[in-house]
Amino acid sequence: MPHGLFITLEGLDGSGKTTQIKRLATWLERRGLPSLMTRQPGGTATGERIREILLDARSSPLAPLAEMALMFADRAQAIAEVIEPALAAGKIVLCDRFTDSTEAYQGGGRQLGSDVVLEMHRLVCGGMQPDLTLLLLPSLEASLARARRRNTHTEAKTGRNEGRFEAEQDAFYRRVWEKYREIAAREPQRVVCIEGNLGIDEVHEQIVEAVAERLVTETRSA
């Protein structure tokens, strides 16, 4: 692969992205395919500092446009420092969240709308798009319950409350969930939607099927 492949995982907090991105990285490694895992917000030294601001419950209230701007500041740094160099080196980049998250959370959840997010993406990211997006959409109720349990455990263990988003009302997350479905319907060639309260192995099987198919397509077009 002269140029790498950019794969993103999307979904609500608690949808299982972190587990699945690690399993996918292992699957690729066993096949001798070099990959790099990263996340947004985060993934760079600057990004991790931005992540702390965005997730820390003490950051509330944070204006929706300020929140969106911080997301894109993190993304611009990640593209320049991590994503573009890895792709240029022929690696498969596995990224936990990208602009779809901003469209879903800030565009949908914060009700800023898609247009402002997509225009910011064009300006800041040069319109960079993933080659493949794996959208995990278990039920809203299952995702929220899992995310809130995880944050309670993390706070008890570390003393850090990173539940600023999880503190939102269910109506916020309903808008996020619906915006994700809207994105998937708009871009079916890029977004593979994995729906339902499936087991970890079932989700992994659907993910590797989608990735294997995309790898074959890329090889044929190279």
For residue 154, the surrounding DSSP H or E stretch is helix 140-158
Sketch the domain layout of the chain as residue ranges.
5-221
Per-residue pLDDT of the chain (222 residues; tens, 9 = 90+): 458 999 999 999 889 999 999 999 999 999 999 999 999 999 999 999 999 999 988 887 899 999 999 999 999 999 999 999 999 999 999 999 999 999 999 999 999 999 999 999 999 999 899 999 999 999 888 888 887 776 555 555 665 666 788 778 889 999 999 999 999 999 999 999 999 999 999 999 999 999 999 998 876 665
Topology classification of domain 5-221: Rossmann fold (3.40.50)
- Beta-strand runs (E) in the chain: 5-11, 35-39, 92-96, 132-137, 191-195
Tokens encoding 71: 């997301």
Q: Look up the pTM and report it.
A: 0.91
Using alpha carbons only, how large is the chain's radius of gyration in Å? 17
